[in-house]
Structure 1
Amino acid sequence: MTNASGFFFEREDRLFLVTSRHVVIDEDTKHFPDRLEIELHTDASNLTLSTGFSMLLYQEGEAVWRQGSDSGGDIDVAVLEVDRSALPKAAVIRAFSPAHLQTAFGEVHPGESLLVVGFPLGFHDALHHLPVLRYAVVASPYGIRFQGQGFFLTDARTHRGTSGAAVVMRDHSPGAATAALPWKLLGVHSARMDMGDRDLVLDESLGLNCAWYADILLTLTEPRERTGAAPGSSARAVTS
């Protein structure tokens, strides 16, 4: 139906696929998929080898992803737990963890260089099955909720298909250079920010984007025995 981006997040031996909520359901555009299909590498030394993997979004009519909301409204981030036993035995997984989250807001300054890692318009290295990078900069004070919502702004050239991409910056802490993922995870790219009254002929697009603060992943990946949440309990009821 559509193309999008995403990444893995691991917590306490549990693995999640992270993407934008509007990738799994979008009432405004009548986008109601029943599964996500992702591509997995199967050989760390030969990136031309990969396989497809399908993940259902509903079980017995109930949504299985998790989403969140706060005082500003719905948050455009969704996580889907991955059944490790169903993964191909040769699957090569590189996942972010809570240790990758950028929690020291004062260390990130306006104008800081970032990368958005995704698949704009579905484009990627089709031989090695790798995403592409877009340079970005922090375009609003990091740590402040832009217009009261749980995201900050980035200045970057993005396209459809980038929704759900990881927004990262290089981790310069000791030992990070040799880590499997030497990055700090700042946000989840959602959508472009524009003005509703912009003159489409005279005015260029702002070129700004919404990146939801990545610390929402700590809430969305909490064990259900701690949160009391049931599968799909925060999802709206729809017909699969």
Structure 2
Amino acid sequence: MARPPVETIADHLFFTTVFIEAFTPTARSMGTGFIINYPAQEGHRLVLITNKHVFDGAEQVAFTMPAAENTAEPASRGTRTLVTGFGAQTWVGHPDSGVDIGAMFFADVVKAMENGGAAPFYRGFRPEQLVTRDTANSLDSIEQITMIGYPNGLFDQSSMLPIARRGQTATPIFDDYNNLPAFLIDASVFPGSSGSPVVLYDRGTFTTRDGSTHSGSRMALLGVVAAVHTRQVNGVVQMVSAGIATFDDMIDLGIVFKASAIQETVFALHEANGLPLPLATVAHEELA
């Protein structure tokens, strides 16, 4: 069945993400990344955003994306490339150890997919879509959010598209949760969701903090999912003899690091590689 063209905001959101598999000598983990397309003298620089804990300790990382039928149309198949020799020289983390954001330049991965015979189909966020402090201050304390990713490694095996989920802010975006550049969302966050973009997306109409209703759509990149709050639960284990097991139970409160922290990480990536900052990019102080 032919699908409609990729043209709406919602369509584009499904092609912003990358499925990540990270391999250490003893384990495989999964996560989400997303692309921001920064302007540069040479045209543009693709930056992949995810979490530090997705890349930490990885020696090989596989990236999977929808394949392109052509520049305007995705194919009903995927494209995957494995990066060997992956390590600390490949990516940069946010300078603050308490801020779980990692970033890497992504053009070489895209080129490897193209050279392998299956170019990826993607739509990167633009840096001007990172939510500004002024926009955040115009939002209400509770707003609906959308996140895109691969919870528990799930995605559409036919179209290779990620999963979109909705929730709401659990702390105001304009506040810093626990004195970190972060806020909470009331949404189901599972392993594999780490690194998912969290966006403000309203279609048709939206209401601002002053109660006025506006026609049209709005979309802003609010941050990146990093973790979920848990609570300890005791349960009886029925085996040969009964015992008490303690395990963590997710309570559907996700921790999201803000757009300003994303921008700080991108600037650190450029500095670490001796590159000038992207063109016409706002300072992180101006972002929420």
- Separation in structure 1 between the aligned mates of residue 131 and residue 85 of structure 2, nearest angstrom: 29
What residue is the counterpart of 1:37 in the other structure? 62
What residue is the counterpart of 2:255 in the other structure? 210
- Separation in structure 2 between the aligned mates of residue 49 and residue 86 of structure 1, nearest angstrom: 17
The AA in structure 1 aligned to 2:200 is M
What residue is the counterpart of 1:94 in the other structure? 123
The AA in structure 2 aligned to 1:88 is E
Change (3 A) 1:200 1:68: same
CA contact (8 A) 1:11 1:221 kept: no
The size of the alignment, in residue pairs, is 213
Query: TM-score, length-normalised on structure 2?
Result: 0.65
Change (3 A) 1:57 1:139: farther
Change (3 A) 1:56 1:78: farther
Larger radius of gyration: 2
Of the three residues 79, 83, 94, the one matched with 2:103 is: 79
CA contact (8 A) 1:57 1:65 kept: no
Of the three residues 82, 86, 91, the one matched with 1:65 is: 91
Q: Which runs of 5+ in 2 are unaligned?
A: 1-27, 207-213, 236-247, 275-288
Aligned-residue offset at 1:23: 0.2
Query: Quick check: which one's strand share is greater?
Result: 2
- Separation in structure 2 between the aligned mates of residue 212 and residue 132 of structure 1, nearest angstrom: 20
Aligned-residue offset at 1:62: 4.7
Write out per-residue CA displacement over residues 161-181 of structure 1, whole angstroms, 9 at most, x where no aligned residue.
10000101116699x86xxxx
Structure 1 stretches of 4+ with a deviation exceeding 6 A read none
Aligned-residue offset at 1:94: 0.7
Q: Which runs of 5+ in 1 are unaligned?
A: 26-31, 232-240
Aligned-residue offset at 1:108: 2.6
What residue is the counterpart of 2:147 in the other structure? 116
The AA in structure 1 aligned to 2:170 is A
By relative contact order (CA 8 Å, sep 6+), the higher-ranking structure is 1
What residue is the counterpart of 1:234 in the other structure? none
- Could you tell me the percent identity over the aligned residues? 24
Change (3 A) 1:97 1:171: farther
CA contact (8 A) 1:24 1:57 kept: no
CA contact (8 A) 2:228 2:250 kept: no
Write out per-residue CA displacement over residues 88-143 of structure 1, whole angstroms, 9 at most, x where no aligned residue.
17332210121111112212322211111111111111100001111110100112
What residue is the counterpart of 1:161 in the other structure? 192
Query: TM-score, length-normalised on structure 1?
Result: 0.77
Q: Is 2:47 the partner of 1:47? A: no
- Separation in structure 1 between the aligned mates of residue 129 and residue 164 of structure 2, nearest angstrom: 19
Change (3 A) 1:57 1:65: farther
CA contact (8 A) 1:134 1:158 kept: no
Of the three residues 213, 219, 229, the one matched with 1:193 is: 229
CA contact (8 A) 1:76 1:212 kept: yes
Aligned-residue offset at 1:211: 0.4
Write out per-residue CA displacement over residues 196-231 of structure 1, whole angstroms, 9 at most, x where no aligned residue.
xx4445x97432110000222222223867x4x358
CA contact (8 A) 2:73 2:121 kept: no
* Partner SS for 1:206: strand
What residue is the counterpart of 1:222 in the other structure? 267
- Separation in structure 1 between the aligned mates of residue 74 and residue 273 of structure 2, nearest angstrom: 40
